[in-house]
Amino acid sequence: MGGDLDPGIAHLRAGGVSIVVDARGPGLPVVRHWGAELGDADARHVGPGFGEALTVNSPDPAVPLAMLPEASTGHMGRPGLRGHRAGAHWSSAFALADVTVGPGTARFTAVDGRAEVELVTEVELTPSGLARVRHQLTNIATTPYVLDGLEVALPVPPHAEELLDFTGRWARERHPQRRPFDRGAWVRENRRGRTGHDATIGLVAGVRGFGFGGGEVWAVHVAWSGNHVTYAQRTPDGRSTLGGGELLLSGEVILAAGQTYRSPWLYAGYSAGGLDGLSAGFHQWLRARAHHPGPTRPRPVVLNTWEAVYFDHDHDRLRALADAAAEVGVERFVLDDGWFLGRRHSGAGLGDWSVDPAVWPDGLAPLIDHVEALGMEFGLWVEPEMVNPDSDLFRSHPDWVLGPAPGAMPVTVRRQQVLNLAHPAAYRYILDRLDHLLRDHHIDYLKWDHNRDLVDAGQDGRASVREQTLAVYRLLAELRARHPGVEIESCSSGGARIDLQILEHTDRVWASDCNDALERQAIQRWTGLFLPPELIGSHVGPPRSHTTSRTHDLSFRLATAIFCHFGLEWDISTATEEERRQLRRAIGLYRDLRPLLHTGSVVRVDHPDPSAWAHGVVSADRSAAVFAYAQLATAVDAVPAPWRMPGLDPHRSYRVTLVDRIERPAMAGRAEPAWFASGTIEVSGRVLGVVGLPPPVLAPEQAMLVRLDVVGEP
């Protein structure tokens, strides 16, 4: 507030975005504008000036929709607060009590004297233009208050006519689905106890036909790793909202006198220039975090042993694999599942976190020493939240398992149960085991897995998904405090726990258990809508995919994986000398490119041929870029459409060079443009962005990379 603004109008502006909040009362604050940046004079007009149109059969007077919608105002849609006090006070009627506005922040306090609850709403607008909002509710009465839901709602304008969200399954995560933004509610509920393979990483509303490079778009993301809900709603009077929050199971939150519940952050992004603009806001915010693994900690080339050896933990074989890894340039060697007590298959051992002497008679130290002598870091796989019924831990403490009632076991999934980390003794046991593991061994990295949904997850007869989620956050935070140099990956049978809150405690995510390069093109494209490349693990698998049985040329597998946090998951000790040569060259290329890949702006091309995808990364000063062109299927046209490269400086010229450290892709036709045959061309940024280059006719499931470097100044 202040300046030319009327009292009670808060205007937050940053990164080309404005949020104008009407906090004149007497009710809850209302977002009058969330979108393109306005001046304070403009915000003054948006705030109090327009009022609300009255319609037949509507409340008198009309009440705008608040960030916490209330039925008491006449709102007939989804309420922001659902709760009661012994069946009473089920409908809230808050009165605004206090407003505090600072640089990029606003805090609104309101009280419902009848229901005896206090609501605090926090709004932040980050320098990148990414907003986040959350509520906290406090019981100010002496009797308990049952909370069933507390969600944030944000308005979008009527010209947002389309919705984009994502679904998926194991090994096929984050696949897009689009639909009209019709009247009614489109509600995505996740009840899996983790973020979920099928969860939408974000819900996007936009103008009709929006794409990567054009069209206004608004998006929300619920930063929570347990049950959650995301929704879009358009009421018959034309009001449109995006919203979400934690999905609370019956009885999970009962607030005693003085107790407070805080909702997860709802992140909210806006872009006037399509989906790439959304990505820029999310990526810049994530990269600005103090703990982000940025340029000062380059993302090392990883070799993970899972698809190389599975459970066959033969010491000599693993030494040979480490030798081969170091020879091609790997920088981090990660020993996956199978190292601990009784773990010869997936049905036993989880919970018994000690090195199996039957497999490792001298412990892990000889392998760790060998790996480090080769100049590589050592990483280890763990799955601390789970327990196998066939384990010493389960046999000793079956009461440490989450279940619907004391003595009742939920169904097993993957021959696993979920260890109740909200149980103090279970929590101490896992913390102590992991702490000892990290103190007794030089381990630089934990691949932290979570391989099943939470079914009937409760303790003492009450639902406990929320408490489990909070306990996992506490466990990760405590381990990081004790071992600040250890990096942690969030893996959850692939990409089932990817959200901004788990990334407050981890250093990267595993996008999918599928290393099939064709599937990965889509998985990485859409995961990267919200996460920058350096946070997304991507590995080159063996010639025949473990999950799909497809075979792909090594060049296609390399060109796909190199755009993320690059690694290998393949027994390269069996690779041919030619394959090893290609790996050495590609790893050298990744090392050269990672300062650009992991700091630059991600761009994706709205290409007219759906069988061909193009994307790239442009440096912050637009002096350099790298682009990929991937032929996913047979081309629609005999002569492919031009390959445009957006995001460059239109006033400078670039030397476009075919990357020769990844083998040339196979051709599907005779058409080979002159520039491709020569391997280089100089073109202006304007021509590359508007007209494009003619691509060659690639065979299906082939890809090519080009580097761009400025050769002329304005």
Backbone angles phi, psi at 448, to 5 degrees: -100, 110
Give the model's pLDDT for residue 56.
76
The mean pLDDT value for 334-339 works out to 98
| Paired sense of beta strands 81-84 and 95-102, if any | unpaired
The mean pLDDT value for 351-366 works out to 97
The mean pLDDT value for 319-337 works out to 98
Report CA-CA distances (Å) from 677 to 36, 277, 610: 45, 34, 25
Give the model's pLDDT for residue 42.
86
Three-state SS at 649? coil
The percent of the chain in helix, strand and coil, each rounded to the nearest 5, is 20, 30, 45
Residue 219 structure tokens? 């998006």
| pTM more than 0.95 | yes
For residue 199, give the nearest of 225, 179, 181 by alpha carbon.
225
Question: Is residue 337 a contact partner of residue 600, using CB atoms and an 8 Å limit?
Answer: no
Whether the pLDDT of residue 4 is over 60: the answer is: no
Question: Is residue 511 a contact partner of residue 536, using CB atoms and an 8 Å limit?
Answer: yes
The mean pLDDT value for 488-509 works out to 98
Question: In the annotation, is 449 catalytic?
Answer: yes
Q: Report the helix count and the strand count for the chain, using DSSP H and E.
A: 13, 38
Give the model's pLDDT for residue 55.
72
Question: Is residue 264 a contact partner of residue 245, using CB atoms and an 8 Å limit?
Answer: yes
Rg (the chain; Cα; Å):
27
Question: What is the 3-state secondary structure of 267-312?
Answer: EEEEECECHHHHHHHHHHHHHCCCCCCCCCCCCCCEEECHHHHCCC
For residue 12, give the nearest of 37, 29, 46 by alpha carbon.
37
Whether the pLDDT of residue 308 is over 60: the answer is: yes
Question: Is residue 113 a contact partner of residue 94, using CB atoms and an 8 Å limit?
Answer: no
Whether the pLDDT of residue 51 is over 60: the answer is: no
What kind and span of H or E run contains 481? helix 465-482
In whole angstroms, what is the distance from residue 259 CA to residue 264 CA?
17
Whether the pLDDT of residue 49 is over 60: the answer is: no
Give the model's pLDDT for residue 295.
75
Question: Is residue 150 a contact partner of residue 302, using CB atoms and an 8 Å limit?
Answer: no
Residue 324 structure tokens? 């081969």
Question: Is residue 259 a contact partner of residue 195, using CB atoms and an 8 Å limit?
Answer: no
Q: DSSP E strands: which ranges in 536-642?
A: 536-540, 565-568, 601-604, 612-618, 624-631
Give the model's pLDDT for residue 605.
97
Q: Classify residue 190 by burial, with Cβ atoms within 10 Å: 0-12, 13-18, 19+.
A: buried
Please give the single-letter amino acid code of residue 226. G
In whole angstroms, what is the distance from residue 231 CA to residue 245 CA?
9
Note the pLDDT tens digit of each residue in 658-713.
Answer: 999 888 888 887 668 999 989 999 999 999 999 999 999 999 999 999 999 999 66
Give the model's pLDDT for residue 506.
98
What domains does the chain contain, in order, with CATH numbers? 9-287 (2.70.98.60), 605-710 (2.60.40.1180)
Reported as a pLDDT band with limits 50, 70 and 90, residue 431 is very high
Q: Which residues pair with 194 in a beta bridge?
A: none
The single residue listed with the structure tokens 């090519």 is 704
Q: Which position has the higher pLDDT, 381 or 667? A: 381
Give the model's pLDDT for residue 53.
65
Whether the pLDDT of residue 590 is over 60: the answer is: yes
The mean pLDDT value for 380-398 works out to 98
In whole angstroms, what is the distance from residue 94 CA to residue 72 CA?
9
Give the model's pLDDT for residue 226.
98
In whole angstroms, what is the distance from residue 233 CA to residue 63 CA?
17
In whole angstroms, what is the distance from residue 118 CA to residue 64 CA?
21
Return the number of other C-beta atoms located less than 10 Å from residue 404's C-beta. 16
The single residue listed with the structure tokens 């892990």 is 364
User: Which residues make Cβ contacts (< 8 Å) with residue 551, sequence separation at least 6?
Assistant: 543, 544, 545
For residue 500, give the nearest of 464, 543, 542, 529 by alpha carbon.
529
Give the model's pLDDT for residue 237.
86
DSSP 7: T
Give the model's pLDDT for residue 2.
45
Show the CA angle centred on residue 352, arms to residues 347 and 355, nearest 5°.
Answer: 105
Whether the pLDDT of residue 19 is over 90: the answer is: yes
Q: Which of 276, 337, 352, 449 is catalytic?
A: 449
Note the pLDDT tens digit of each residue in 239-252.
Answer: 999 999 999 999 99
The single residue listed with the structure tokens 């005896």 is 116
The mean pLDDT value for 195-214 works out to 97
Please give the single-letter amino acid code of residue 443. I
Q: Which of 513, 516, 571, 649 is catalytic?
A: 513
Total residues belonging to the chain? 714
Question: Is residue 530 a contact partner of residue 199, using CB atoms and an 8 Å limit?
Answer: no
